[in-house]
Amino acid sequence: MTRSDTAKSRPRGGLADKRRAILTGALTVFARDGYTRASIDAIAAEAGVSTRTVYNHFTDKAELFQSVIQESANRAAEAQIAVIDRHFHKITDLEQDLIEFGIAWATPMTAEHAKHFALVRQINADAGHIPKEAIDAWQQAGPQRVRRELADRIRQLADRGLLRGDDPERTAIHLVLLVSDVEPSYSAITPTEEEITEMVTAGVRAFLHGHARDS
């Protein structure tokens, strides 16, 4: 009685894109439960697919996980780079444009991307039990790629004399830190649009001028 009631709509048909369904379901379950807790049965159910089919597409739970984090990294990186490109193309009023960038950066947190960040937390916690090659590949496809992109944009702003030009990599890190929310989703409180704006504004001001009195 535990098998047939978990899968609500299994029309039993639909060949072909099972693999994508599995990856999507696995993302959901891995992000929610973590690697060890996540059971293949739960993933299969979430994907609307038989357990056996999962093993038909992926040899291992481990390989499935690595595929999931790789795809997650790629998708998230695409999205974030899109945000970067969109907002750094037309910088005229530095502070105002950075604030708009920060809002766009911090806002998508509310929808589908929440899963990606939950997965990132799982990776951070489980890093000691994930093969180093997988971690490296993930880092390179995700965070590092985005950071390099942002650093390039910052370098361009420095060339235009709008920012200091020393160590654009670290400057990029600082910017991202200051416009991102702390507290990853405890108590499931979604910050309002106003709170995001306020946080981002404060972050951008700190990024540009710092907190010293005389600045």
Partner DNA sequence: TAATAATTGCCATGCACGTTGTATTGTAGC
Partner DNA sequence: GCTACAATACAACGTGCATGGCAATTATTA
CA-wise closest residue to 208 among 101, 94, 104: 94
Coil vs helix vs strand at 128: helix
Site string for its own copies, 103-142 (x = CB under 8 A): ---------------x--xx-xxxxxx--x--xx--x---
Chain positions 52 to 91 lying near its own copies, rule: CB under 8 A, are none
Q: How near is the Cβ of 14 to DNA at its closest, in Å?
A: 6
> CB of 104 within 8 A of CB of 83?
yes
Select from 40, 81, 162, 173 the one that contacts DNA (CB under 7 A): 40
Residues in binding contact with its own copies, number by CB under 8 A: 50
Tell me whether residue 93 is exposed, middle or buried, using C-beta atoms within 10 angstroms of its C-beta: 0 to 12, 13 to 18, 19 or more.
Answer: exposed
How far is the C-alpha of 26 from the C-alpha of 44, rounded, in Å? 8
189 binds its own copies (CB under 8 A): no
Residues, the chain, total? 215
Tell the smallest beta-carbon distance from residue 95 to its own copies (Å).
Answer: 8
- The verdict on 9 binding DNA (CB under 7 A) reads no
Is residue 32 involved in binding its own copies (CB under 8 A)? yes
Residue 203 lies near its own copies (rule: CB under 8 A): yes
C-alpha torsion 170→172→177→181, nearest 10: -170
Applying CB under 7 A, the residues found at the interface with DNA are 3-4, 10, 12-16, 18-19, 37-42, 48-53, 55-57, 59-62
